[in-house]
Structures are given as C-alpha cells and as structure tokens.
C-alpha cells in the first residue's frame, strides 16, 4: 500500500507562486509513475504534470508549460509541484497520484484511470 498526503495549497494573487508537496509513505520503492492532477467542480479532472520516477522524465499539460515544475526528493519521499506565474484559471483542487505499473495499455500519464493511489487534495485559489 502507498499513502499520499498533499500540502502547500492556499490563496494567492495572479502572478504569484506556490509550491505543493506530496509526502509518500508505504511501499514507495514500488512506485513507477507520479503525477499532479487538478479538478474544478463540474469539470473533468485534468492531468497537470507527470513524472517517471525511474528515468526522471517529466511531462506537462500545455497550459502550464514554462510555469510549473514537477520534481521529486527521494531522500524525503516527497513529490513537488512548483507553480509560478499563477493565473485565475489555475484555481482548482490539486491531487497527487501514484502508480506502480510501468505501462497501462491505452493510458498515458495524464489519464487519471492509470493511477492506483491518490491523495486527499489541496486547494489552490488564484485571485485576479
């Protein structure tokens, strides 16, 4: 089993920055993929950034490229999402996700269905 606990959300003005953290516990050695997702009420969950923990390759949805950075600290068993130049449209509940499978047929890093473990979420609100 793997447990994920997010923190770091809050309220910020447009143009500001936040860093989200996701502490991973349990069978952490088994994790292959990790990602950050976000969801606004009434809308589909969106993959924001993904990380292959084995080769450290990273992926971003187009709307956050150049502004967000996903990273991991293996010593602290923590996944981060550094968010700069925040915009009101970044307002959402942000979730950390993890999975132990290298590949899931038909699913890519931004598909929520390919992840087995989820955190409880942390709210990010960006005001204009």
pLDDT tens-digit map of 3-26: 999 999 999 999 999 999 999 998
Q: Extract the runs of DSSP E, i.e. beta strands, from 15-86.
A: 18-26, 33-39, 46-52, 58-60, 68-73, 78-83
More confident residue, 101 or 19: 19
Q: In this model, does residue 110 exceed pLDDT 90?
A: yes
Q: In this model, does residue 97 exceed pLDDT 90?
A: yes
Q: In this model, does residue 106 exceed pLDDT 90?
A: no
User: Residue 49: helix, strand or coil by DSSP?
Assistant: strand
Q: In this model, does residue 27 exceed pLDDT 90?
A: no
Measured between alpha carbons, how far is residue 45 from residues 36, 39, 56, 94 in Å? Answer: 10, 5, 24, 9
């Amino acid at each position: 089993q793997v447990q994920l606990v997010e923190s770091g959300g809050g309220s910020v003005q447009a143009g500001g920055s936040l860093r989200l953290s996701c502490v991973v516990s349990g069978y952490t050695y088994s994790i292959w993929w990790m990602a950050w997702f976000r969801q606004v009420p009434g809308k589909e969950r969106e993959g924001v950034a993904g990380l292959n923990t084995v080769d450290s390759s990273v992926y971003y949805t187009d709307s956050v490229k150049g502004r967000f950075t996903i990273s991991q600290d293996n010593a602290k068993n923590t996944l981060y999402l550094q968010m700069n130049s925040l915009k009101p449209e970044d307002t959402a509940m942000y979730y950390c996700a993890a999975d132990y499978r290298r590949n899931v047929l038909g699913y890519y890093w931004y598909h929520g269905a390919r992840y087995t473990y989820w955190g409880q979420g942390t709210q990010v609100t960006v005001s204009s």
